[in-house]
Amino acid sequence: MTGMADPKKQQWVLTLSCPDTPGVVHGVANYLLMTGCTILDSQQYGDPDSGLFFMRVSFERVHDEVTLEQLNSSFAAVGATFRMAWRIHDANELMPVVLMVSKFGHCLNDLLFRAGTGALPVRIAAVVSNHGDFEDLTRSYGVDFVHLPVAAGDAEAKAKAEAALLEVVESRGVELVVLARYMQVLSDDVCKALEGRMINIHHSFLPSFKGAKPYHQAHARGVKLIGATAHYVTADLDEGPIIEQEVARVGHGVSPEQLVAVGRDVECQVLARAVKWHAEHRVLLNGNRTVIFA
């Protein structure tokens, strides 16, 4: 995987999908050549099942400065020619992100640390929680904490909390919402509003071990592999397009508490990779699946 953008240079990332027809790569390369840009990295994939072509190109301007508006305007004709769904991103900008958490803080702590040390190309705009447990932790990183309590079974409170969440997203220009072990089920309206912009993490025991204490349930069944899955959120609970997965092998002598510890480590690693890839514009949606240019 290539590294993060050089902050001293003006670099951009083009992502696109379109019908898989001849000439797409040539069209993109010729456009970049004619506009005085040079390609730093290029990846592409033609999916034989969907008939779609996917591409991610990292490039920089060789001479003079160029704005995002100028690039969007000049590339529009290429996009129209090949019927592309495309976007050009400023590779030097940190993606604004909101983290959501409930009572388990391991993923929150991990993401705050990675972002704070520059290991993730994101700017955490706020942490939103239905509990107040992690306010001190959040503020220790200089990040705003937004408490949106939701009482069990209180539909009105849930509606208000979700409206407030969308207001935070809109007012702070947030491009990604991360459910870092946020345990409330979000409404279909919120899922649709943030489609392709909200990532969840859960243990890979689902759907086999739903409900309370899944690791204890897994221990009782003598599992040999535990893991985690990061995926985009859709209205179908835990059924969204998968971004990343990981597993860890465990033996018969591992206790339920040890399973929990191993599982939490795996969850942190998987979620961090998913957030990083999304923030670097390496994930393209392909129906119910994803194309990952990692």
Catalytic residue IDs: 238
Instruction: Supply 128's token pair.
Output: 């939103």
CA angle 95, 62, 30 (to 5 degrees): 90
Task: Starting at the earlier edge strand, list the strands of the sheet with 95-101.
Answer: 145-147, 122-129, 95-101, 176-179, 198-203, 225-232, 242-249
Tokens 């204890």 belong to residue:
216
- Measure the CA–CA gap between 134 and 102, rounded to whole angstroms: 9
- Measure the CA–CA gap between 134 and 88, rounded to whole angstroms: 36
Exposed / middle / buried, residue 65 (Cβ in 10 Å: 0-12, 13-18, 19+): exposed
